[in-house]
Amino acid sequence: MMKYANRMKKLGTETAFEVLARARELEAQGRTVVHLQIGEPDFTTPANIVNAGIEALRRGETHYTPSAGILPLRQAVAEFVREDRGLKAGPENVVVTPGAKPIMFYTLFACVNPGDEVIYPNPGFPIYESVIGLVGAKPVPIQLREKNEFRLDVKELRRLITPKTKLVILNSPQNPTGSVLTAEDLEAIAKLAIKHDLFVLADEIYSHILYEGRHASIATLPGMAERTIVLDGFSKTYAMTGWRLGYGVMNPELAKHVARLGTNNHSCTASCVQFAGVEALTGPQDAVTAMVSEFKRRRDVIVDGLNRLPGFKCLKPHGAFYVFPNITGTGMSSRELATRLLEEAGVACLSGTSFGEFGEGYLRFSYANSVEQIRMGLDRIGQFLGAAVAR
């Protein structure tokens, strides 16, 4: 038996990929599956963006670029975040990466020492806990509670901060609950970050999938710009998951460290993809508006439908494209119900525990699928629950 590095024991994963693999197996056996597990828009990338990528390739943009990203894209990102959410940023603040995920990895690598503590939302995106462990830091979960509309409780955050706390991860709008932090939450968190000299990794990947109001970034609050890393990207907003394009906005010193990590690891983001990104940010935005209004329509259909199911209780999320219903009334654990829904009812969703221990009692459904598919999924779950109760 070969012996692999101990650190691999600390590395987690995203179960969404495993559920997708099992769903595909069932489909190969001739079963039909309603896919409500995938965290990606079902729309294709808007044509103007696709064309910009193709034109870049035809022009010969087929070479290495600077690790931090091409200047026109870093300029476009800086201008975009300035206008969109009032961040004071120039190209020196921006690092472009293949997808937004590397920003998590690189900023934790650059800011956190082994033994430091990092506070992260739970239920939350599973990669946070995984990467915190990988860099040798202690993952400290903060529970997001349904009674607080799945927003973190600032009093609880205060209690979790110790002299070893180095960084806090925020995610708003949030995966998997769709919760959105309020202006008061952000102000109170900023005060704590300044008082205890903490970095904040603000994961704003769903900043444009928001159903009321405008997205607010903690980085705009006084004293926060130098200690906040804003993570955002193109995957969700522009339906570009497969292109792999994201960015971080941070202080220029940290940006140099993050770019050097990029040089050591991925060298640079694909050049034609970066030119497509310039078009995404500077071109027409009507495709984004249309996608968000369609997501809102689907949200209302799925929330209504889930609340009609016996044993289900579902809050209406304010952003992202996920719902996180409470399923304790079914008498089943999250994992059991998620597995049985896939195997017996042909509906793929994720157990709340895929997002951490505090996800027990919940399921996550992605509504990045058509209204017809969502309705079919709801019907199938209703039939399954009816039969399960009758048994």
> Footprint of ligand PLP on this chain (CB under 6 A)?
39, 99-101, 125, 171, 175, 203, 205, 233, 235, 241, 246
Q: Which is nearer to ligand PLP, 169 or 309 (CB)?
A: 169
Q: Which amino acid is at 93?
A: N
Cα(339)–Cα(369) distance, integer angstroms: 20
- The secondary structure element, H or E, covering residue 367 is none
**Least separation, in Å, of the C-beta of 300 and ligand PLP?**
22
CB of 128 to ligand PLP, least distance (A): 8
Q: How far is the CB of 195 from ligand PLP (least distance, A)?
A: 26
Planar angle of CA 190, 192, 198, nearest 5 degrees: 85
Q: Least distance from C-beta 226 to ligand PLP, angstroms?
A: 22
Give me the least distance between CB of 137 and ligand PLP, in Å please. Answer: 19
- The answer to whether 149 and 156 are in contact (CB under 8 A) is no
Residues contacting residue 332 through CB under 8 Å, at least 6 positions apart = 340
| Residue 143 neighbours by CB distance under 10 Å | 18
Cβ-closest position to ligand PLP: 99
Identify the burial level of 204 via C-beta atoms within 10 angstroms of its C-beta, where 0-12 means exposed, 13-18 middle and 19 or more buried.
Answer: buried
Least distance CB 173 / ligand PLP (angstroms): 9
Q: At closest approach, how far in Å is the CB of 317 from ligand PLP?
A: 13
Helix, strand, or coil (residue 76):
helix
We find the least distance from the C-beta atom of residue 99 to ligand PLP, in angstroms, to be: 3
> Which positions ≥6 away from 367 have C-beta within 8 Å?
36, 295, 298, 299, 301, 302, 321, 322, 323, 374
Q: Are 242 and 78 in contact (CB under 8 A)?
A: no
CB atoms within 10 A of CB 389: 11
In this complex, which beta carbon is closest to ligand PLP, that of residue 100 or of residue 381?
A: 100
> Side chain identity at 318, as an amino acid letter?
H
Q: Which is nearer to ligand PLP, 235 or 269 (CB)?
A: 235
d(C-alpha 242, C-alpha 130), whole Å: 22
Q: What are the residue ranges of helices labelled H in the chain?
A: 15-28, 47-59, 71-85, 101-111, 126-134, 154-160, 183-195, 252-265, 271-282, 286-308, 334-340, 371-390
Smaller CB distance to ligand PLP: residue 67 or 175? 175
Considering the complex, state which of residue 364 and residue 380 has its C-beta at the smaller distance from ligand PLP. 364
